[in-house]
Amino acid sequence: MKHQKPNVLFSSPSAAKRVVIYGRVSTQDQDARNQIRQLKGYAAAQGWQVVDAITDTCSGATAASERDGLGKVLILAHQRRFDILLFWSLDRFSREGSRKTIGYLTQLEQFGVGWHSFTEPYLSTLGVFSDAIIALLSALAKQERLRIGERTKAGLERAKANGKRLGRPRTSPDRIAEAKKLRASHLSFTEIGQRLGVSRVRAFQLVNQQ
């Protein structure tokens, strides 16, 4: 990895911050130590205190709930155990798409934790353009949500055009008749639901279905 000369963001000793370093590689054949070493050097140049260096070996598209390292980062952030998350690049942090990625970054902000990309210093909540960066990432996430919605709508329209029935399957007349018969036997909707293996609300719907 190419060495990057650090730009000092905080020059005053009073501005020292607690930092957690996060590194990720995709396969066991790769080594995150190069990332960690350079990130530690960068943190030292800023006068930051490194409280932990956390790594994952997995695809960047893996959800945080399935990544031990990123999961730990979010837990520590929730516990206010550090002030800044430092990572190599945004795609090393997450490749789940802008919507999910901005969600993780927003969580960090809500926990009072800033974040900074080593190789993309413009992607940071520490500089003068932090508000603009956050607004840009939010706009990208919104566009991704719209695209997902459009793809979902198009998929439903294709299914409908191909003759597929959408929505909840119709209940068979026999099942409705059975529910009505049980009700006629003076059973409660709870008891009917227990007999048919459905909820009390669903039992009521079956009994009153035309």
- Separation in Å, CA 11 to CA 14, 16, 45, 127, 176: 9, 9, 9, 13, 75
Task: Give the pLDDT confidence of 108-133 residue by residue, as tens digits.
Answer: 988 989 999 999 888 888 876 666 66
Q: What's the pLDDT band for 140 if we cut at 50, 70, 90? A: low
In the predicted structure, residue 34 carries a pLDDT above the cut 50: yes
Which residue from 96, 184, 177, 179 is spatially nearest to 141, judged by alpha carbons? 96
Residue-level pLDDT at 1:
47
Residue-level pLDDT at 102:
82
- Between residues 134 and 205, the one the model is more confident about: 205
Q: What structural domains and CATH numbers belong to the chain?
A: 13-125+132-141 (3.40.50.1390), 173-207 (no CATH)
Query: Annotated catalytic sites, by residue?
Result: 26
Calculated CA dihedral for residues 124, 126, 129, 133, nearest 10 degrees? 30
Per the CB < 8 A criterion, the answer to whether 59 and 26 are in contact is yes
- What pTM did the predictor assign? 0.58
In the predicted structure, residue 14 carries a pLDDT above the cut 50: no
Residue-level pLDDT at 138:
60
Residue-level pLDDT at 5:
47
